[in-house]
Amino acid sequence: MIYIPRSDLEKLCAEIFIALGIPQEEAIDSAEILVSADARGIKSHGVARIKRYVDGIRADHIKGNVKPTLLRETPVSLVLDAEGGMGLSLSKNSMEQVIAKAKEHGVGICSIRNSNHFGIAGYYAEMAARQDMIGVAMTNTAALGVPTFAREAAFGTNPIAFAAPGLDGKMFSLDMATTTVTRGKIEVTAREGKTLPPGWAVGTDGLVAGDPVKLLEDMLFKRGGGLLPLGGEGESMSGHKGYGLAVMVDILTALTSGGVFGGAVMDSEITAARVCHFFMALRIDLFRDPGEFKQDISRMLDELTALKPAEGAERVYYAGLKEQEAEKRCETAGVPLTDEVWKTLKETAAGLSLSVPAPHL
């Protein structure tokens, strides 16, 4: 691993986007969101995706300086067509509008169609939590997940994020795929030359897959196989529950916005699929005093971390704690990147005549 100061890495990523014609404000927001994934230890959704962005922008599939089309609006809701804009910056702007509606009316909701990859869902849910609200964010993705008892993909990894604030910066922040793992983890496993563990995915025959490279190719070219839903194979470990959650995300993101869903959401060799998002913010004082709520959240989280760990385990975590601690470490150590990701980033920068920052070894 090499370590890059966070501000330097954000600057480099923004410069790459700007060199490709993305407006400065969109580029800065997009870089911040991508780097936040690496800072939190979610390397599957961070700057490793830069090359895919570069390819998508050059193919005019991902567009900068796009004003979304407003399809419908009420005092508490928005429905937008993203028109192929940058999913990262668009989503940040949309969540800001949702929060503004919630501040005025108690709740804000937005669904979006025809967008692009938006990074980690938790980033947007946490935006609301930092404003004394409960935040929710979801997106559908290219169809990679295999329904219970099937052998071909029919839904995406379709992540769900939920964030609620406690006192003094404490936060419960759940950010999870509705498949056992994301495609990003399959890509990481392939880059590391490892074999897929049982329970992650099935091949074209609907049986356990071990080769990550073959699986990625099979998923890309729609040969069959794909990721298992949260819970795993069959019903005995409740894979059907993950399957149901994935379909729920498709309903909230795509069917409310009139976008594409299920098997119709497809990647190409050079670009990611056009996808749909859903954002919601709920003002806590709709229910009770925000200070008392945050006090109880903190007490709940403290009770969870105070539990006796299982034999062989060091401690008990709650959703978001590992990521928050990783982000804190990055303040001094820098953002960790694998040698391969750093090499790709340097090659991308060199192709655009950009210099790169010096890493910490």
Return the SS3 of 47: helix
Residue with tokens 């409740």: 238
Which tokens hold the place of 223?
Answer: 């040969």
Q: What whole-number distance in Å separates Cα of residue 186 and Cα of residue 188?
A: 5
Q: E strand or H helix at 135, and its extent?
A: strand 133-139
- In a structure prediction context, what are the per-residue pLDDT tens digits for the chain, which is 361 residues long? 899 999 999 999 999 999 999 999 999 999 999 999 999 999 888 999 998 899 999 999 999 999 999 999 999 999 999 999 999 999 999 999 999 999 999 999 999 999 999 999 999 999 999 999 999 999 999 999 999 999 999 999 999 999 999 999 999 999 999 999 988 889 889 988 999 998 899 999 988 899 999 999 998 888 999 999 999 988 988 999 999 999 999 999 999 999 999 999 988 776 778 999 999 999 999 999 999 999 999 999 999 999 999 999 999 999 999 999 999 999 999 999 999 999 999 999 999 999 999 887 6
Burial of 175 (0-12, 13-18, 19+ CB in 10 A): buried
Contact 236, 242 (CB under 8 A): no
Kindly state the DSSP code that residue 301 receives in the 8-state scheme: H
